[in-house]
Amino acid sequence: MMDKSELISLTKEHMHVLCSAISERRVGGEGNRLATDFVKNEFRESGWTTDETLLEVMDWRTTGTSLKCGTESFEVSSSPYSKGCIVSGELVPVNTVEELEKADISGKIVFLHGQIASGQIMPKNFVFYNPEEHQKIISKLEKGNPKAIISATGRDSAVAGGVYPFPMFEDGDFDIPSVYMKDTEGEKLLACSGQIVTLESGAVRIPETAFNVIARKEGRTKKRIAVTAHIDAKIGTPGAIDNATGVVVLLLLSELLKDLKGEYGVELVAFNGEDYYEVPGQMKYIEQNQGRFDEIELNINIDGAGYKEGLSCFSAFNLPDYIREKLDTIISKHQNIVEGKPWVQGDHSIFIQYGCPAIALSSEWFIDHMDNQDITHTPKDNLSIVNYERIPECALAIRDLIVSLGENK
């Protein structure tokens, strides 16, 4: 059995592979496939049965953008997963949903700014959380048939992470070409209202593949514990905390639990697509488990763990008394893990929706600063912000819980 210092050096090696040797794990990108291959091989080397599920996805690239009004140029970026365009048309500014309803935007370039552009719009086919107002904005825009959309945005940390400006649309199912710009740049663009502007966005959508990787170990019964962590990261970030650390917890568990023989089977799931508009890996898992969610005794999801500052924290949902009691006993022995504020924005939400008991593990600092941090989904989420001790601590606590649950009820 590995001691803590061996676990820490293994953690460093794995983190280096996922965040440095492979620099980007965006869904559909080569780094993403290298990462799922790496995880599959590590699982196999520890003697687990593995299962790879093919996902049809879309990669995306842009060669750049330009926006001109007369002789003036403005700085804009292509919205991730948007179509590209080369268009000219009248600039129609829209500030609210009511204005959007009244505006004639057909054949024009609509400029969303202010109130209507204050938050990121959920992808149109996203089933887990999709406010009515977002669906209304999408459908008004589609019916209005503009040539393109420009949005001027600030920050929306809770939904879009720490990026400034945030892309108002990040949706490969939404076909109106769109770009976004800083709110401060948008204030200048307002002077061009009613004038002809020319917008070029060199964005292209590319059909690609990606994989979910699942490692399995049988138990004495059909019931199983599903430990999950998403392996993908946003475009342009190494995704160290979001969520290489979670994947490394899975890898450490494959080592720590290699000789497990318990009541329950164990499934280690590297989900592909938590940070991707159509969450393909999650949708595939739901499809594969249709009618079988009652076999899942417990989900443990790791996302955002291992931040350099503060402790690890968990939040628990739907736990029956016997799991809660065992959890409390184990947490009392792992002093760097505490109970934090409940948060549901992660893959554990799938299990909660199907009524399964679930525990989410993260970093307390991120949960406490969810509404104002500037790290998630940016290049700042790199190896320099990782506390390498936190990761084995999380793996050891999960190992203890799984072993303890497997002993008896």
Question: Nearer Cβ to Zn ion, position 137 or 302?
Answer: 302
Dihedral sign for Cα atoms in the order 350, 353, 355, 357: positive
Q: Give the nearest distance from C-beta 39 to Zn ion in angstroms.
A: 16
Residue with Cβ nearer Zn ion (62 or 378)? 378
Give the pair of three-digit tokens for residue 193.
């209202």
CB of 26 to Zn ion, least distance (A): 13
Least separation in angstroms between residue 223's CB and Zn ion is 27
Residue 84 or 340: the one with the smaller Cβ distance to Zn ion is: 340
Q: How far is the CB of 371 from Zn ion (least distance, A)?
A: 16
Report how far Cα 242 is from the mean position of its chain's Cα atoms.
Answer: 7
Q: How far is the CB of 171 from Zn ion (least distance, A)?
A: 18
The rounded distance, in Å, linking the Cα atoms of 182 and 167 is: 10
Shortest CB 348 distance to Zn ion, Å:
11
266/251 Cα distance (integer angstroms): 13
191 class by beta-carbon count within 10 Å (0-12 exposed, 13-18 middle, 19+ buried)? exposed
C-alpha 109/C-alpha 25 separation (Å) is: 33
Which CB, 183 or 232, lies closer to Zn ion?
Answer: 232
Residue 181 or 226 having the CB closest to Zn ion: 226
DSSP string, 25-88: --TTSHHHHHHHHHHHHHHHHTT-EEEEEEEEEEEEEEEEEEEEETTEEE--EEPTTPPPEEEE
- Tokens coding 299: 């989900």
* H helix intervals, 234-356: 245-256, 280-288, 321-333, 348-353
What are the residues binding Zn ion (CB under 5 A)? 242-243, 303
- Residue 403: how many other CB atoms lie within 10 Å: 15
Closest distance to Zn ion from the beta carbon of 240 (Å): 11
Whose Cβ is closer to Zn ion: residue 165's or residue 273's? 273
Q: Which is nearer to Zn ion, 200 or 242 (CB)?
A: 242
Within the chain, how many helices (H) and strands (E) appear? 12, 14
* Cβ–Cβ < 8 Å for 194, 90: yes
Query: Of 242 and 400, which CB lies nearer to Zn ion in the complex structure?
Result: 242
Rounded Cα distance, 224 and 215, in Å: 12
The token pair that represents 336 in the structure block:
């760097």
Residue 206 host element (H or E): strand 196-217
In the complex, what is the shortest distance from the CB of residue 206 to Zn ion, in angstroms, rounded to a whole number?
Answer: 23
Least CB distance from residue 330 to Zn ion, whole Å? 24
* Longest pairwise C-alpha distance within the chain: 75
Closer residue to Zn ion, CB minimum distance, 278 or 303: 303
| Residue 60, beta-bridge partner list | 205
Tokens 């947490």 — which residue? 331
